[in-house]
């Protein structure tokens, strides 16, 4: 079993829909990262959180430490949000462990 599991693997939505991507992890962590990878490869860090919730524009990330679960939400989705979204867990004194990613396609 992978230490970091994402769901769904693939997600297709219509423009304007509310989107949720889930990330579960099986180990104790010090932080959870959400990353975005656009076609072509470049990866951008979206959030790093260790508790509660963070918001940036239409993106919201939440984490529940007790349940070892994090979600990334996108409100009012747009075709330019189409990308691979990756969660990564940081264990204390260890390097990041990455989920396999969620391919999001937002249709106009």
Q: Using a CB cutoff of 8 Å and minimum separation of 24, what contacts does 92-95 make?
A: 92/28, 92/29, 92/30
Structure tokens at 30: 């010090």
In the complex, minimum distance from the CB of residue 80 to other proteins, in angstroms, rounded to a whole number: 18
Structure tokens belonging to residue 60: 């919201």
Positions in the binding site for other proteins (CB under 8 A): 4, 30-31, 33, 40-45, 48, 86, 88, 90, 95-96, 98-101
Least separation in angstroms between residue 18's CB and other proteins is 25
| Residue 17 beta carbon to other proteins: minimum distance, rounded to whole angstroms | 25
Give just the sign of the alpha carbon dihedral 32, 18, 108, 6: positive
DSSP conformational letter for 66? T
Which of 19, 23 has the CB closer to other proteins? 23
Identity of the residue, 11 or 96, whose beta carbon is nearer to other proteins in the bound complex: 96
- Provide the 8-state DSSP code for 106: E
Shorter beta-carbon distance to other proteins: residue 43 or 76: 43
Q: How far is the CB of 46 from other proteins (least distance, A)?
A: 9
């Amino acid at each position: 079993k992978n230490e970091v599991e994402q769901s769904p693997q693939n997600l297709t939505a219509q423009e304007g829909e509310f989107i949720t991507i889930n990330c579960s992890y099986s180990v104790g962590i010090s932080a959870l990262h959400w990353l975005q990878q656009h076609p072509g490869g470049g990866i951008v860090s979206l959030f790093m959180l260790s508790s509660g919730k963070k918001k940036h524009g239409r993106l919201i990330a939440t984490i529940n430490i007790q349940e070892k679960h994090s979600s990334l939400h996108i409100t009012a989705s747009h075709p330019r949000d189409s990308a691979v979204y990756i969660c990564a867990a940081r264990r204390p004194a260890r390097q990041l462990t990455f989920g396999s990613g969620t391919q999001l396609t937002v249709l106009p």
